Structure 1
Amino acid sequence: MFCGDYIQGTIFPAPNFNPVLDAQVLGAALQGFDCDKDALIRTLTGRCNAQRQTIAEAYRGLYGQDLIEDLKEQLSHHFKEVMVGLMYPPPCYDAHELWHAMKGAGTDENCLIDILASRTNGEIFQMREAYSLQYSSNLQEDIYSETSGHFRDTLMNLAQGAREEGYADPASAAREAMVLWDACQRRTGEHKTRLQVILCNTSCQQLWLVFQEFQNISGQDLVDAINECYDGYFQELLAAIVLCVRDKPAYFAYRLHSAIHDFGFHNKTIIRILIARSEIDLLTIRKRYKERYGKSLFHDIRNFASGHYEKALLALCAGDAEDC
């Protein structure tokens, strides 16, 4: 992360919060003859996730119904995905996305990469617990059955959530950088394993030093070396780990730009990132997006989305809305 950067989301706790009143607003919006989608957007994007959970409890108390189920029943298409996604607690949302990435037709490897390469140890632990409770299944066992090779090994390592924390040893950074350089040159199975073990288990503070030493030793950026020496999802995952260690908001800005421009507005990716990062660093992601690509995230969403789906995405991104 750039020195002095202030990481900030776009959604905060609403002041003067009244969950019963909000539940009544949602009830009127969902129970009426014509669903008031604007009221849904205002309420659900105007409250933080913890407040939404309280609203859901109040909703059940008032109407005897589950808010998520009512949203699923009354809404459709991508707008429904946004509104329903906002109602999951963050670990449950990650678990939901991982489950569907592996249990649908085929495997969404990029979803696995985005989530597992970017989450902290604590987030991964909570995600694993949520996955087990929601789906009566083991995340690591499902990863093992749905992926293969060194890509699978790296995902399973990340899913342990066992990265060292708060540790940096300049004396060993050059040695670890040499291991990475050797792995990029020789590319055997053993060297691939050494590479992923360092990237998955070493503290972020230590990896910063290792990346600098790698540049000194090889004259090359580590991401460039990985892209040259490896291919497929293994290469994408390794690069994602490095990019997330360096600057997580920049990584997600890159993923959003790719999802919008390279994949014909890949809705699932865009929705997942905006929801998952909204209370963490979405405002900073927005900043990185404009710095790197010249146009604001607002601009690009408006060009490709429409209707209440567009309104919902823009509301998630809003924050201080300085680059609308």
Structure 2
Amino acid sequence: MYSMNYIQGTIFPAPSFDPVMDAQMLGGALQGTDCDKDVLIDVLTQRCNAQRLMIAEAYRNIYGRDLITDLKETLSHHFKEVMVSLMYPPASFDAHELWHAMKGAGTEENCLIDILASRSNEEIFQMKEAYLMQYDSDLLQDIYSETSGHFRDTLMNLAQGTRQEGYMDPAMAAQDAMVLWEACQQKTGEHKNMLQMILCNKSYQQLWMVFQEFQNISGQDIVDAITECYDGYFQELLVAIVLCMRDKASYFAYRLYNAIHELGFHNKTVIRILISRSERDLMNIRQRYKERYGKSLLHDIKHFASGHYESALLAITAGDAEDY
């Protein structure tokens, strides 16, 4: 339930698109003794994901090699991460990010929160299928083994992808609000379970009413109540669900600001959000970022990144409307 008139990304299908010509340009850029990174940026950041997949197919037909493999072998550091990440279909990219968040040294909980709190039922279904195909592993089983407690229960509930869609019941909203209010007072295991069940399974339209009722009952915003009553990743996940329901663009603007300023430019988070939102709502995220923090997202990327890595991030974020 966005509060914006329309949702807009920064990357669109390129007009007069020729995958064979693009594949040959990439081949020339990658085969030379000195890789022409500017060509890679010009081609891969100015084509939509579906077009990039067609380029990869043409590349395989021409050179008999896999484009992702060649990018990995030729490039390095964060620039490599950006270029390779652009080549995954959205569901495969989500699966890739979740796998690495859980299988690295220590679990990267904020990656799990960002993805699972913000995706639709359909996106979650496709992500689970991609996860199984890519890693021959079950996403729910991996979440179960890599996380714990009520944080784990909530993630697993979200990963079921069974949120109601479009359903509204005003009488039930008042009851749910009372349950949430009690859960913030009592904080028992059972109350935590009821809290996450409501947040994970009710439709966004229903939750909109529930949170209004909650405000009426408690005199408090639901986010403030959750923040006061709970802590740790369980609290962060619950807050993320509420914020994504209210306005995903604002949530991701906040996450980008945090990754850039609080965490000293946390590259994995910045790359993941920019690429995964580039065809969804990255232009809206930019607007929210500027409204909320006074500086443009492009300005902050320029300030903290450098070289071809900076150029690639700026190309993804700028779209056709630069705003430094």
Secondary structure of 1:280's counterpart equals coil
Name the structure 2 match of 1:320: 320
1:152-171 superposed matches below 5 A: 152-171=152-171
1:321 deviation in Å? Answer: 2.3
For residues 299 and 5 of structure 1, what CA distance do their matches in structure 2 show?
25
CA distance in 1, matches of 2:258, 2:192: 27
Structure 2: which 5+ runs fail to align?
Answer: none
After TM superposition, the score normalised by the length of structure 2 is 0.99
Amino acid at match of 2:88: Y
Q: In 2, distance between residues paired with 1:158 and 1:24?
A: 42
Identity percentage over the alignment? Answer: 77
Match of 1:145 in 2: 145
User: Does 1:99 pair with 2:99?
Assistant: yes
Residues 86-121 of structure 1: CA distance to partner in whole angstroms, max 9, x if unpaired?
A: 000000000000000000000000000000000000
Matched letter for residue 147 of structure 1: T
Q: Secondary structure at the match of 1:128?
A: helix
Cα distance in structure 1, aligned partners of 2:89 and 2:3: 31
Structure 1 segment 169-318 matched on structure 2, within 5 A: 169-318=169-318
Alignment partners' CA distance in 2, 1:105 and 1:135 = 18
CA distance in 2, matches of 1:321, 1:54: 26
Instruction: Indicate the residue corresponding to 2:57 in structure 1.
Output: 57
Deviation digits for residues 164-193 of structure 1 (CA, Å, limit 9, x no counterpart): 001111121111011001001100000000
Give SS of 1:163's match.
coil
Structure 2 distance, partners of 1:2, 1:126, is 23
Q: In 2, Cα distance between the equivalents of 1:139 and 1:4?
A: 33
**Which contiguous aligned blocks of 4+ residues in structure 1 show a shift greater than 2 angstroms?**
1-5
Question: CA shift at 1:319, angstroms?
Answer: 1.7
Task: Check if 1:23 corresponds to 2:6.
Answer: no
- Aligned residue pairs total 324
Q: In structure 1, what is the Cα distance between the partners aligned to 2:5 and 2:81?
A: 32
Deviation, 1:6, is: 1.4
1:19-98 equivalent positions in 2, closer than 5 A: 19-98=19-98
Q: CA deviation at 1:320?
A: 2.9
Q: What one-letter code is carried by the residue in structure 1 that aligns with 2:8?
A: Q
**Residues 58-109 of structure 1: CA distance to partner in whole angstroms, max 9, x if unpaired?**
0000000000000000000000000000000000000000000000000000
1:322 CA drift (Å): 4.0
Task: Work out the CA distance in 1 between the residues paired with 2:5 and 2:79.
Answer: 33
Counterpart residue type for residue 268 of structure 2: K
Deviations 1:222-249 (CA, angstroms, capped at 9, x unpaired): 0110000000000000000000000000
Secondary structure of 1:217's aligned partner: helix
Q: Distance in 1 between matches of 2:142 and 2:182?
A: 32
TM-score by length of 1: 0.99
